[in-house]
Amino acid sequence: MKVQRSWMTGVLVGAIALATGGWLINQSGATSGGESRRLLDEIHRLISARFVDEIPPEELYQMAIDGMLEKLGDPYTTFLEPRDSEDLRLTTTGNYGGLGVRIDVKDDWITVVQVLPNSPAVREGLEVGDRIIEVEGESAEGWSVDKAVDTLRGEKGAPVNITIARVGVDRPLAIRIVRDVIQVAQAQGFVLDGDIGYVTLRGFSREAKEELVATLDRLVEEGAGGLILDLRRNPGGLLPAGIDVTDLFLDRGKPVVETRSRLDEQNYLFRASSEDRYADVPIVVVVDGLSASASEIVAGALQDHDRAVVVGTTTFGKGSVQTLYGLSGNNSMKVTTARWYTPAGRSITKDFDRESALRDLAASAVAVSGEPVAARSEPEDREEYTTMGGRTVYGGGGITPDLIVYRDTLSTEEQELRRLATRSGAIPRNVVFRWAVEYSNQHDFNEGFSVTQAMREEVWAALVDAGAEVERELFDQSLTYVDWLIADELAGAEFGEVPQLRSRAVRDAQIQVAIDLLREADSPDALLTVAAQVAEERGADGAQSEESGGDR
């Protein structure tokens, strides 16, 4: 039985998670549940008493859990210890107790790459480029981002003592920061090229729809006649949030997504509950290989209803629903309980094991920085479906865009520059980041700055000082990449997150294709016509030549 609803509580479309753990001994023969439990207890007692190395009983039980989950072959069914459950809660609510900084590892040190507004970090004067060298008297050298996040997060009102090293300051600075609730912005947007609204959505927390509406309404008021919804690198989040976001762009009653399960209570057909808020506005949705779960629900529904043109590369292929169940000891389980289907009946689930998933993630990964990377290959065998307007779309292995457009890719020379510099310990992005912080402290310039030859010379000198074993000729052959790094890091260091996003957008091949499409279309129907014409020019699948490396 199908139940039509517009909202559901407690069901998660999880972020990308891969099962890990040990092995479960294969058992043959048809045994009853009781016999299997007795057999498991016998094996547990035997190993506890007789195995050559002593293993605590609780570790054996954990091995059994890990092995059972691995044998399921589902990377999204996972056991969550109390801390993991809290991390999941934080990612879905978008709120946590912390300092209000974005951090990354730069030259083996945890480094502040952004200071969030109205945060404890702002109040205590933290700056972009600050290296966190100690936390509560413990050296932070060699810390991973995960370790730093775990250590710096805490309860609201709880203080943490850190020591930082700052560019231009010859001694460490001791700072005491009182943690506060940090709300991570889900949506950021601005107007590009005069009248094209651009908004990036990072995730699908409970606040996602509200933030997206506020951002889109502002862009429309500022004169945006077309919209770009950037879902790249968006791993998903709450299923209700994905449905609510889709609801913004569809008329009341239109199907959004269907979940199918062997549990009757999880067989749902979700429909839009309100009218299209932006009915006359043409929309391009941009996706990539890290757009997953709720991102794919939005892209798939808008594509099936011919409401938007999808541009980019094929999405991750995460078409299942997880439900969170509480267990003893404050533990919990995230269990795959249903699969979801687009309005056209597509299941976009990609079948993979853990190893192939890791390889695919590595191949598709685009750094959070947006730095150009090698393009991902597209699936060859795709099952055909038909949209509400009669267009051909594809199922299986993710949402395939209407126009396949690859990100900017590094040339052979640029890849060699990055490889040689990194091998000698001078990672180009890290070197340019440190240079940009210093340059920003010493110079005044406007957001619309241009990269100059003098800047390039300073970056070359910084690479040499950092020990990069690179010939000057190779550097000069890689100026497109060098200029990209300079523009990106200077925008971030001097002006902050939104100007940095704007700087990236104007240098982004996929965004430029979206802008070109919207330039030629004054309505959603016109946009579909323009996209079809471009697809016909490019070939049957609408793919841009991978060898071209984008529109650089």
Q: Is 293 a catalytic residue?
A: yes
Query: Is the separation of the CB atoms in 344 and 383 below 8 Å?
Result: no
Give CA torsion, residues 441, 447, 452, 458, to 10 deg. 20
Which helix (H) or strand (E) segment is 182 a member of?
A: strand 180-183
Q: What angle do CA 521, 484, 99 make, to 5 degrees?
A: 95
Q: Which residues contact 461 (CB under 8 A, 6 or more apart)?
A: none
Q: Which residues contact 270 (CB under 8 A, 6 or more apart)?
A: 4, 5, 6, 8, 243, 255, 256, 257, 258, 259
Q: Is 347 a catalytic residue?
A: no
Q: Is 364 a catalytic residue?
A: no
CB atoms within 10 A of CB 377: 11
Place of tokens 């590892």: 105
Catalytic, out of 293, 295, 332, 478: 293
With residues binned 3-state (H G I as helix, E B as strand, rest as coil), the percentages for the chain, rounded to 5, are 40, 20, 40
Catalytic, out of 244, 276, 304, 488: 304
SS3 category, 203: coil
Reading the block at residue 198, the tokens are 């651009």
Query: Is the separation of the CB atoms in 396 and 314 below 8 Å?
Result: no
Catalytic, out of 254, 318, 334, 350: 318
Least Cα distance to 16 among 246, 409, 329, 319 occurs for: 319
Q: CA–CA separation, 176 vs 121, rounded Å?
A: 10
Least Cα distance to 194 among 222, 228, 230 occurs for: 222
* Residues with active-site annotation: 293, 304, 318
